[in-house]
Structure 1
């Protein structure tokens, strides 16, 4: 499967499509803000639209919000259509709610480039990373690089889990390392 066929495309079935994937960074005062308090105390009655988008409907609110919420490269792409997100530029109650659900195992997040799904934030995740930093890698190279080079699995363990041979994983990893060296 080519990278182009796995890339995120906004769905046309709902109004108010949102733009491309910006990245997040954790706010300094996240434990004290109203958005984070709502995220931790209100339940979300929404759900997934597709691999990249979710509807968030917090119990204390009266409207639904469309949120881009997916992994790309080594980072998390997120954007909400609410006024709070547009005003603050990052964390609104809806985005914070998805983060809270994800870290507690309540939702699964898809990596748009590799197709792999993550029930919790992976060890290699960097919220403020450049989402295009890995665009030159194939999905298989990126998956091997994130899992073995930046993650916690060795080549043989990842080969067993992925159904590939250790030699294939080693070759993918070597190719990804070479590609990353050329970009530095």
Structure 2
């Protein structure tokens, strides 16, 4: 399956399907809050449902929670079905646990637009960015733009990484820059 053909659709096989994505911003007191303490102290016995959703089951809890956890545009979208998610401005223990696992290289997060998977937060990530800001770019252009213009890849390096010609990456970047100019 090519990256352009991949898209996320919520699965219907579990109760409590999560709604549309929302973005996160890092809380000021994240190291002292109960959700962050739980995330760092407890193990997660859950796993991936699909590219964008995970089941989180913390070791001291008695239930599992369905969490949307994926990259979209230039941001991370997350939503949990627990009440703590709404109470803690998006950083419930389940979401915080996924962040903790991701920054430690224990899970891989998929990009819903490009299909690329990230074993750690990419350099271009902004937590509170608009998830629709780059909807005008096709997946290949977005992928090149994020990696080269907003990330740390050079054009030739990204071409080798993606097994494409440097000219192809250059053309993708030129088109993406033209489409993005004046929008952001």
Same fold (TM over 0.5): yes
Aligned counterpart, 1:112 = 112
**1:183 counterpart SS class:** coil
Q: 1:102-127 CA distances to partner (integer Å, 9 max, x unpaired)?
A: 00000000000000000000000000
Alpha-carbon distance, 1:182 to partner: 4.5
Q: CA contact under 8 A between 2:3 and 2:116: conserved in structure 1?
A: no
Which string of whole-angstrom CA distances, capped at 9 and with x for unpartnered residues, describes residues 13-67 of structure 1?
1111011110000000000000000000000000000000000000011100000
Give the Cα separation in 2 of the matches to 1:149 and 1:157. 13
Matches within 5 A, 1:25-40: 25-40=25-40
- Structure 1 position 2, deviation (Å): 8.1
Q: SS of the residue aligned with 1:70?
A: strand
Q: Matches of 1:71 and 1:181 in 2, distance apart? A: 22
Contact 2:73-2:131 at 8 Å conserved across structures: yes
The normalised TM-score by structure 2 is 0.96
CA offsets per residue over residues 102-153 of structure 1, 9 Å max, x none?
A: 0000000000000000000000000000000000000000000000000001
- Written as runs of structure 1 = structure 2, the 5 A alignment for 1:40-59 is 40-59=40-59
Aligned twin of 1:148? 148
Would the alpha carbon gap of residues 50 and 62 (structure 1) be closer, same or farther in structure 2, given more than 3 Å must change?
Answer: same
Q: Which 4+ runs in 1 deviate beyond 4 A?
A: none
1:2–1:138 CA contact under 8 A, matched in 2: no
Residue 7 (structure 1) aligns with: 7
Which sections of structure 2, spanning at least 5 residues, go unmatched? none
Q: How far apart are 1:9 and its partner, in Å? A: 1.2
- CA 1:152/1:177 → structure 2, altered by over 3 Å: closer, same or farther? same
What are structure 1's unaligned runs of at least 5 residues?
none
Measure, in 2, the Cα distance between the counterparts of 1:105 and 1:2: 23
Question: Structure 1-normalised TM-score?
Answer: 0.96
SS at match of 2:22: coil
User: In the comparison of the two structures, how many residue pairs are matched?
Assistant: 183
Q: Report the counterpart of residue 92 of structure 1 in structure 2.
A: 92
